[in-house]
Structure 1
Amino acid sequence: MRLIPYLILISLLFNSCGGNRQEIFVAPDGNDQNSGQQNAPLQSLQRALELVKDLREKDPESDLTIYLRRGTYYLDRPLVFDAIHSGTPEHPLQLTAYRDEAVTISGARHLELNWSAGEGPLLQAELKADQPFDQLYLNGRKQIRARYPNYDPDILIYNGYATDAIAPERISTWSRPETGVLHAMHRAEWGGYHYRITGVNAAGEATLEGGFQNNRQMGMHREFRFVENIREELDAPGEWYYDDAEERLYYFPAPDLDPDTSRAEIASLEHLFEFRGSKDAPVHDITVAGLEFRHTRSTYMRTKEPLLRSDWAIYRGGALLLEGTENILIQHNQFRQLGGNAVFVNQYNRKTNISTNLFEQIGASAIALVGSPEAVRSPSFEYHEWVAADQLDREPGPKNNDYPAQALIEGNLIRDIDTIEKQVAGVQISMASGITLRHNTIYNTPRAGINVSEGTWGGHMIEYNDVFNTVLETGDHGAFNSWGRDRFWHPNRQIMDSLTRAEPGLILLDAQNTTTIRNNRFRCDHGWDIDLDDGSSNYHIYNNLCLNGGIKLREGFHRTVENNIMINNSFHPHVWFEGSHDVFRRNIVMTWYKPIRLNGWGDEIDYNLLPDSAALSRSHELGLDTHGGYGNPDFLDPGTGDFRVADASPALALGFENFPMDSFGVMDPKLRAMADTPEISAPLFFLPKAGSSSPLVDFLGAQVSDIRGLGERSAAGLDSDKGVMVRTVPAESLAGKVGLQAGDVLISLNNHPVERVAQLMEHYQGESWRGAIELSYIRNQEQHKLDIKL
């Protein structure tokens, strides 16, 4: 029975392309009884790995390449790499597309469906699904699982939400409510929840299973929710429903698709490639390049393991799962239409390199690097948990090496990762050390672009990234977000104050090494550009261009923030400790600082450029910015995003130094041509003063300006020239959708008086992180109020 494989092995050993190099070819139309030579390819990746194992046993250091020919490879189980498949640093095992041919690795099952007419506009087809599925693709396009409310691409949150998604009145119209799935935002908009509907109680209310996907249990948002997989909600083009009792698929045809001629696929696998080694026998020196990974099942009902006192729960899995590896290179691949995480780097891993890949339409996080809590000393797993001071392990650093370290995440384009789960990130780091994130472009995310869940164990380098269009569906977050609820943390602030005052050495037991954030461009319109939340400690933040949300430091210790530019915003110091040792110097801000409940101003707040003399005087009254200045920084070309300052800028006299404005994000020419760039807002706090020509400024998509003269004041029935006139309101803008009209005069925002455009934008920038604002305005000489969800 081993004769044919042995002959294949002998053939490959003699088929060297010079030296010890062997090539194994695989093609969708190949045959596993073939030799694996170019003219006789294998059919399956599993068979190729079997040959690699045989070859490794004969020659552990041979130079092996598996070439995949053009086509789609449907996996019936994950492809598992063991330690025996490993290469060497000089000759890594390479799994790659042959000469850039289009190769897709799919976790889908291809269906042969015979459609027939059903009720009304519906089509139906018999389908014996051997396992549940929640994703249907026709000609590569994801179709919509029957849902209420219907899918609307113009609605940001969940593409449609309804307060009555599971109201008893609606449930009473469902014949099988137990097939349904409920998705709901967290009550405070800190991510989301997912539930199976298990039945209906005597009051007609849904009974639910789930809700473990968020580590800050506060219940569902009363409004932001939708339900899917209910037969009676199959009522819109592109929707489908699978009746598992009837073994029948129902479909409401999309107008531009012919189901009879469309290729039908359902997502089947959770993982595609698994690298399964250990600390003692790692999988090492393997390269995966030039492939496209598609169609994994969603895993939101498996997202239930809490991380250390962050808002996160996770599922340790992904289309590519790395566990117990060293020197794995994931390069020049594409990850699309995945139901869960794309790449999950789990527990012990060293020198993982994930570079120059495209990630889009991802159900959870694009890249997650998460260590084991077994490596953490005195861990706590929920915000309100703590270990008593007399029981704390006071040994610094990790307990063992079961965590990712020395990884490089470079040059990746990550976008549209909000398709299912909402507590996700472009790159998520937890219980890891020395991770470098460089030249990545990340946008269109429901929460942070980059998230660091806690201080264990620091030493990360985050540089030259371009992160924007973030926090689109949630709130109270940032383009970059971190928490620092480490060993010193206590949910009772008074107890934490006394602990850190008595024993400051506790502070850096976990955040041992400084995390550096430098030379990035960040923009967040629903939070902060850089948000160091809840105890984030030991950071050096410099040379960053913050386009909208400013920089926030909440609690925590040992943060140095210098030489940054905050367009149309400022510095947000929140709830500082008396001895924080924080430093904020040589930065450019465009409004005075926005402190909340400070117990001291750190070690140094000085040499900063403030917008005007009033702001500088306010600093002086508090003993801040003794050597600071004020004025227009004189940016070279803000319209094109060049915020370097001119030679005569007052910022340079304060010690500010220019930094490059052309090195953000992906550098690979193909990815750079595909990537969007952030909106560049004009600096608003240097607008002409009252009485001079007032330019138009964008506000919620409308054009607004100062009141222009006595005629406008009279026409609006105002008793002064204070207020901001709405000039034009495109119907598709947020301003248009909430009902603002041309001629309205805005007079306050969240109860802050608004007299000029600059003041309107200053208040907006200071309040928009809340996710909602209240506007007061004058229309037809009457005052009105408007609550706006951002």
Structure 2
Amino acid sequence: MKNKLLLLIGFFLPFLFTQAQIEIYVAISGNDRNTGSLEKPFRTPERAIKELEKAVGKNVKIYFRQGTYYIEKPIVLDHRTTRTQSLLIESYPGEQAFLSAGQLLKPSWKLYKNGIYVTVVSKNAVFERLFINRKPQILARYPNYDVKARVFNGTSADAINPERIRHWKNPKGGYVHGLHSGEWGGLHYQIEGIDEKGELQLKGGWQNNRPSPLHKQYRFVENIFEELDVPGEWFLDREKGLLYYYPYEETDLSKATVEVSRYKNSIQVAGDEKRPISDIEFKNIVFLHNERSFMETQEPLLRSDWTIYRGGSLLLENTQNVKITGCQFIDVGGNAIMLSGYNKGDIIQGNYISGAGASGISFIGNTDAVRSPSFTYEDYVLYEKLDKTPGSRSAHYPQQCIAENNLIHDIGMIEKQSAGIQIDIASQIDVRYNSIYNTPRAGVNIGDGAFGGHILEFNDVFNTVLETGDHGAFNSWGRDRYWSPSRRYMDSITGKHPELILLDAVQTTFIRNNRFRCDHGWDIDLDDGSSNYSIYNNVLLNGGLKLREGFKRKVENNIMINNSFHPHVWFRNSKDSFLHNIVMTPYAPIGIDDWGKDVDYNLLPDLEVLQNAQKRGTDVHSIAGSVDFINSKTGDYRVSGNSPAMRIGFKNFPMDQFGVQIPALKKIAAVPEYPALIIHTENDSGGKTVSFLSTTVKSVYGLGDRSAYGLPDENGVVIMKLEAESPLRKAGFLEKDVIRTIDNTSIKTVNDLIKIYQVSKWKGKLKVSIIRNQQTAEVNLVLP
């Protein structure tokens, strides 16, 4: 009997399994009255999703055949539309499906004037993005788009001057964009009209959680008809239903594909609090044409500098075990991927994100998960009223999720308070093997300490903070529930009640085995109370490491190329430690009275730097010397067996595992530039020679140098040798020039030169005063 039962099970098992598997096909050539089979596919994504209502408890695969699918409205996968056991949505093997949140136009262009063409569209049509042959075009703006301009691709102080406004007949619906006055992100305003004084009536400015006036220089306007004056620009007259476009000379409008944006979100996976949606995978889908979202970016994220819009091309809310693999998000108008609220065990793997208007991948919890939340920088809850229970108040936040092997670049195209990967109110997010570059602000940002436990490892993050300031390739804030901007209050409260520090930052966050480079800030920037971090085995290529006020940070075995350790305004008893690190310039402390638990066993660049550190009471067992990297020119910053770094306990770690590892993505991913080392050595005259920007320089030393170069004193830096590739040579410097000031700051020694360079190089151009042949001259140095 038992054997017969087993035979019956064996006979019916394949049948039962196939019955549980359903395949649905969608093709551009299909018909929604078809059956959805491979031979008779559906025509639209919406019809395929409708079919899921019949597949209760089944394992379903939806295959999209080659082509572009324009959604009728954002697709929602919830418990009404999706009751499957599992669901896979992907491009048919060997083919590529494109999911457009936009609309295909079939215009009839006619010449308007001055090279501008016009076509009729639906009256009251609303779209802010135009694509010609899949390339985004430029909404009419002033100043005109400049690919070389550092901020917003072109800004001007006179963008909203009365003289310019007078030329605009009807600017309503236009926009004013600019940086925050402190350059902490961007601000955006919609024009509602012009008042009786001839000034613009504006709505907006809520895109930054640290309120500020608009930057006086870095601003521009767009969506103004009178500013349509160069090829690539366009304007939509919504009231008349007319679309104007100034094509490039090589564009044949009669054959061009014309598409416009329509929706901010393409797909929303939305479970509910008691029943998360689970076991869905999106694979090898290209997302296109999403609308911009900057005017929706209003919600403050506790006391971080951010406000956000909880949306994106792909939006997940209340999900479990959802996967996004091998997808592409190309030139989408806002966030690419947003995990909002409760999301557990989700995996974002092997995706390509380029040209996003806001952030790449965001893990954002709900503020109701945080105890005693505060929402502005100045706001805080007094100790007596503070909820002192550790951890979260609800489970409404991303947890145990993974972002790995993603290639993310050129994001934040319009929203400058954005990041390649953003984490706020989340727990145990693993961020690994990602390549992230060309960002206006941080590559990776953590907005608060709630609730820690993240692991950031093997990432390659560079070309960051390109348009803003006071930030890092990695940035964090820790303005947790106990935190206050009042230093006096903080000193008293954390001294009496140190247990408060880890109420939100419950678990340690690890930053390890990464490569960071920031040329306009710090490579790693732990700001305002960031606490409970372990930072080790990282290569910092340019900006060094900053630890502002915070607690329980352990920094070990890191390499800081041409830079150093930047401790800022620490609290008493911070319990911070800085051990076994390689630094190449002097420490740069600001407001430090208490140096934490331990700063020691580090390799410093020379004896003078070491002695100055020891005078402050640190680095008793540290040593000075040249690092002796194996091959810094190829990015191999392991040290040789003879390096003095070995004597302070430094341990080599791999240099070939940074960034995306999936072959197809690794092939197209950029890598950072490896800087020429600034190395201190002693020359025969007693002065220090340094390799600096492919130039050998030394401090002026003694009466001999003063006489030889015709100097009024013994201050300055002498250019001893210029290599062919040196930017100093290209700027017109000559050997034997003596650098005296940079941007009106005196340069007395090589150390001064290095310090001012590190602080000022983000400006892109420096005014340098030199003495040449006993005459004063000025040279403008354009930096690489």
Q: What's the TM-score, normalizing by structure 2?
A: 0.92
AA paired with 1:78? P
Supply the AA of the counterpart residue of 2:105.
L
Is 1:124 the counterpart of 2:112? The answer is no
Name whichever of 237-246 and 655-664 sits farther off: 237-246
Q: Residue 80 of structure 1 aligns to which amino acid in structure 2?
A: V
Unaligned runs of 5+ in 2: 1-13
Conserved? CA contact 1:466–1:522, under 8 Å: yes
Partners of 1:81 and 1:509 in 2: CA distance? 36
Alignment of 1:747 with 2:743, yes or no, is no
1:411 aligned residue: 405
Residue 75 (structure 1) aligned to one of 59, 62, 71: 71
**1:698 maps to which residue?**
693
Cα gap change, 1:651 to 1:751, in 2 (>3 Å): farther
SS of the aligned residue for 1:153 comes to: coil
Check the 8 A contact 1:482/1:532 in 2, yes or no.
yes
Partner of residue 553 from structure 1, selected from 529, 541, 547: 547
57, 60, 67: which one aligns with 1:64: 60
SS in 1 for 2:551: coil
For 1:20, give the aligned amino acid: A
In the alignment, the residues of structure 1 paired with residue 681 and residue 326 of structure 2 have an alpha-carbon distance, to the nearest angstrom, of 45
- 2:293 pairs with 1:299: yes
Q: Does 1:106 align with 2:70?
A: no
2:44 maps to: 44
> Which of 462, 485, 499 is equivalent to 1:468?
462
Alpha carbons of 1:83 and 1:194: their partners in 2 closer, same or farther (altered >3 Å)?
Answer: same
Aligned equivalents of 2:571, 2:60: Cα separation in 1:
57
Q: In the alignment, is residue 284 of structure 1 matched against residue 243 of structure 2? A: no
Q: CA deviation at 1:504?
A: 1.0
Instruction: Answer with 687-696 or 759-768: which moved more.
Output: 687-696
Contact 1:465/1:521 (8 A) holds in 2: yes
- Cα distance in structure 2, aligned partners of 1:311 and 1:166: 26
Q: How many residues are matched?
A: 766
Measured after TM superposition, the shift of residue 352 of structure 1 is 1.1
Cα gap change, 1:391/1:68 in structure 2, threshold over 3 Å: closer, same or farther? same
1:593 paired with 2:587, answer yes
Provide Cα deviations, 1:132-181, integer angstroms capped at 9, x if missing partner: 21110010111111110011101111111100000001101111122321
Aligned partner of residue 178 in structure 1, secondary structure:
coil
Q: Which residue in 1 is equivalent to 2:6?
A: none
1:489 alignment partner in structure 2 = 483
What CA deviation, in whole Å up to 9, does each residue of 1:56-100 have, x standing for no partner?
A: 1xxx1x322111100000012011111366688xx7311111113
- Change beyond 3 A, Cα 1:245–1:714: farther
What is the DSSP-based 3-state SS (H/G/I as helix, E as strand, rest coil) of the residue aligned with 1:242?
strand
Report deviation, 1:686: 3.2
C-alpha separation between the residues in 1 aligned to 2:478 and 2:438? 25
| 2: CA distance, partners of 1:740 / 1:419 | 35
Q: How does 1:427-442 map to 2 (within 5 A)?
A: 427-442=421-436
Indicate yes or no: 2:233 matched with 1:244: no
**Equivalent residue number for residue 210 of structure 1:** 204
- TM-superposition CA deviations, 1:256-281 (whole Å, max 9, x none): 21112101011001100100101211
Contact 2:534 2:555 in 1 (8 A): yes
Question: 2:38 aligned with 1:28, yes or no?
Answer: no
Q: 1:567 to 1:381 in 2, by over 3 A?
A: same
CA shift, 1:723, in A, is: 2.2
Identity over aligned pairs, percent: 46
**Cα distance change of structure 1 residues 74 and 610 upon mapping to structure 2, 3 Å threshold:** same
1:361-386 CA-partner distances (Å, limit 9, x unpaired): 00000111111111111101110111
1:402 has 2:386 as partner: no
Q: Which moved more, 1:598-607 or 1:43-52?
A: 43-52
**2:9 matched to which residue of 1?**
none
Q: Is the 8 A contact 1:475 1:770 kept in 2?
A: no
Equivalent-residue separation in structure 2 for 1:734 and 1:16 (angstroms): 74
Which secondary structure does the structure 1 equivalent of 2:502 belong to? coil
Alignment check: 8 A CA contact 1:408 1:437 kept: yes
Separation in 1, partners of 2:36, 2:348:
28
Q: CA deviation at 1:238?
A: 0.8
Q: Indicate if the aligned counterparts of 1:526 and 1:771 stay in contact, CA closer than 8 A.
A: no
- Mapping for residues 248-267 of structure 1, pairs under 5 Å: 248-267=242-261
Cα displacement (A) at 1:788: 8.7
**Aligned residue in 2 for 1:350:** 344
Correspondences of 1:107-256 after superposition (within 5 Å): 107-128=101-122, 130-256=124-250
Give the letter for the 2:20 counterpart.
N
Distance apart, 1:769 and its partner CA: 6.9
Pair 573,774 (structure 1): closer, same or farther in 2 beyond 3 Å = farther
Return 171-180 or 504-513, whichever deviates more.
171-180
Query: 1:678 and 1:469, CA in 2 relative to 1: closer, same or farther beyond 3 A?
Result: same
Aligned amino acid, residue 418 of structure 1: G
- Tell me the C-alpha RMSD between the 2 structures: 2.8
**TM-aligned CA distance change 1:46 to 1:712, over 3 Å:** farther
1:165 counterpart letter in structure 2: A
| CA 758–23 in structure 1, closer or farther in 2 if over 3 Å, else same | same
Note closer, same or farther for the CA distance 1:493–1:724 as it changes in structure 2 (3 Å cut).
Answer: same
Taking structure 1 as reference, are residues 693 and 372 closer, same or farther at Cα in structure 2, changes over 3 Å only?
A: closer
Q: Please show how residues 448-597 of structure 1 align to structure 2 within 5 Å.
A: 448-597=442-591
Cα shift at 1:785 = 8.8
Q: 1:789 to 1:489 in 2, by over 3 A?
A: farther
| Contact kept? 1:193, 1:220, Cα under 8 Å | yes
Aligned to 2:5: none
Please name the residue that 1:53 is paired with. Answer: 53
Deviations 1:597-638 (A, max 9, x none): 013000001100111111111122122111111101111010
Contact in 2 for aligned 1:270/1:318 (Cα 8 Å): yes
Unmatched tracts of structure 1, length 5 or more: 1-13
- The 1:657–1:228 alpha-carbon spacing in structure 2 relative to 1, beyond 3 Å, is same
Q: Which residue of 1 aligns with 2:7?
A: none
The one-letter code matched in structure 1 to 2:527 is: D
Residue 770 and residue 500 in structure 1: after superposition, are their counterparts in 2 closer, same or farther (change >3 A)? farther
Tell me the alpha carbon deviations over residues 578-608 of structure 1, each in whole angstroms, 9 at most, x when there is no partner.
1100000000001121100013000001100
Q: 1:169 to 1:715 in 2, by over 3 A?
A: farther
Instruction: Tell me the secondary structure at the aligned position of residue 763 of structure 1.
Output: helix
Summarize the Cα distance change of 1:734–1:384 in structure 2 as closer, same or farther, 3 Å threshold: farther
- Is 1:668 aligned to 2:681, yes or no? no
Comparing 725-734 with 276-285, greater Cα deviation is found at 725-734
Specify whether residues 610 and 752 from structure 1 end up closer, same or farther in structure 2 by C-alpha distance, changes over 3 A only: farther
Q: Does 1:336 align with 2:324?
A: no
TM-score scaled by structure 1?
Answer: 0.92
- Structure 2 SS opposite 1:154: coil
Letter in 2 for 1:668: I
Between 170-179 and 292-301, the greater mean CA deviation after superposition: 170-179
How much has 1:19 moved relative to structure 2? 5.5
Task: State the secondary structure of the residue aligned to 1:748.
Answer: strand
Contact 1:286 1:329 in 2 (8 A): yes
Distance 1:732 1:318, change over 3 A: farther
Query: In the TM superposition, what are the counterparts of 1:616-695 in structure 2 within 5 Å?
Result: 616-686=610-680, 689=683
| Counterpart check, 1:95 vs 2:127 | no
After superposition, give the CA deviation of every residue in 1:319-346 in whole Å (9 maximum; x if it has no partner): 0000010000000011001100001100
Cα pair 2:722 2:728 within 8 Å, conserved: no
Distance 1:449 1:492, change over 3 A: same
Contact kept, 8 Å, 1:87 with 1:286, in 2: the verdict is no
Q: Which of 753, 757, 760 is the matching residue for 2:753?
A: 760
Contact map agreement 1:465 1:519 (CA 8 A) in 2? yes
